[in-house]
Structure 1
């Protein structure tokens, strides 16, 4: 038997003001679009802002549905919109923020597993990493240089 070790590395920022100006703007847009989340069941609102290499910013918020799992997470709303409207653009950076209607979220909240897999598909397809910044409602922000930090064993078409 052989054990392997996987190491991931993140950059941590204490607050939004520590982020580079471009990312502060991106996170501000994610915070604003979070207000548009339709979350009557979970009371958990997520907002995402994606910066594309063509200079466009794409926004998304989670959209729930009483018929689970028919709703869609904010990350997939934004990334699928980017793929549909700007199919040749590369995703450079993604800012994610999440807040609960019932308690204040202070820890950085990463994308769920389904969203990680969807982001992986785009990162693999474009052959360049996607910088991902994620936070709760307040507090620290984590930066990942690539989705590979969040999903080191990515499943892709080479396994099919």
Structure 2
């Protein structure tokens, strides 16, 4: 496990500076305060770094009918798309546990719709440490938009 201050070589391999990674982690951690999680008490914050430098936040939103809730990652990506963002450099998620939690399977697939397989996903724990994996590492042999057949325009 790494911290944003102690492992600059990890961050450089994904094209981000240690300061950018640290800021992304701080933003994801701050986003936890936006969480609506009265049932599980499991807060998740997400910070999505867009290619223009904008950071879009998301937090998990629970519902009494549990499957109806929205994960932090899906909230951030949905918000970014609504704001016209389509290119992303990194995602950070933050939870109140150690070790850090990774995006759930449904979120991994949702991220796959909008992001390159080499996108770094930084997962922060309650103590400010993180683990970073690419989307491809978290979702091997994934199915993406490029796998869908295009409609035949001659018909």
Which interval holds the TM-score relative to the shorter structure? 0.7 to 0.9
- Report the 3-state secondary structure (helix = DSSP H, G, I; strand = E; otherwise coil) of the residue aligned with 2:43: strand
TM superposition shift of 1:17 = 3.0
Point out which structure has higher relative CO (alpha carbons under 8 A, 6+ apart): 1
- The equivalent residue for 1:60 is 58
TM superposition shift of 1:67 = 1.3
- The equivalent residue for 2:11 is none
How far apart, CA to CA, are the structure 2 residues paired with 1:61 and 1:17?
25
- The equivalent residue for 2:37 is 39
Q: Which residue among 70, 86, 90 is the counterpart of 2:87?
A: 90
How far apart, CA to CA, are the structure 1 residues paired with 2:63 and 2:4?
31
TM-score of the two chains, using structure 2 as the length reference? 0.81
- The equivalent residue for 1:9 is none
Matches within 5 A, 1:2-151: 12-13=1-2, 15-18=3-6, 20-87=18-85, 89-99=86-96, 105-123=97-115, 127=116, 129-138=118-127, 140-144=129-133, 146-151=134-139
Deviation per residue, 1:104-157 (Å, 9 max, x gap): x1102100000000011112xxx563211002212531112x300001021224
CA RMSD of aligned residues (A): 1.7
TM superposition shift of 1:26 = 1.0
| Structure 1 segments of 4+ aligned residues over 3 angstroms from their partners | none
Kept in 2, the 8 Å contact 1:76–1:115? The answer is yes
Number of residues paired by the alignment? 138
How far apart, CA to CA, are the structure 2 residues paired with 1:122 and 1:129?
12
Q: Which runs of 5+ in 1 are unaligned?
A: 1-11, 100-104
Relative to structure 1, is the Cα distance of residues 139 and 31 closer, same or farther in structure 2, using a 3 angstrom cutoff? closer
TM-score of the two chains, using structure 1 as the length reference? 0.79
Kept in 2, the 8 Å contact 1:50–1:59? The answer is yes
Kept in 1, the 8 Å contact 2:35–2:60? The answer is yes
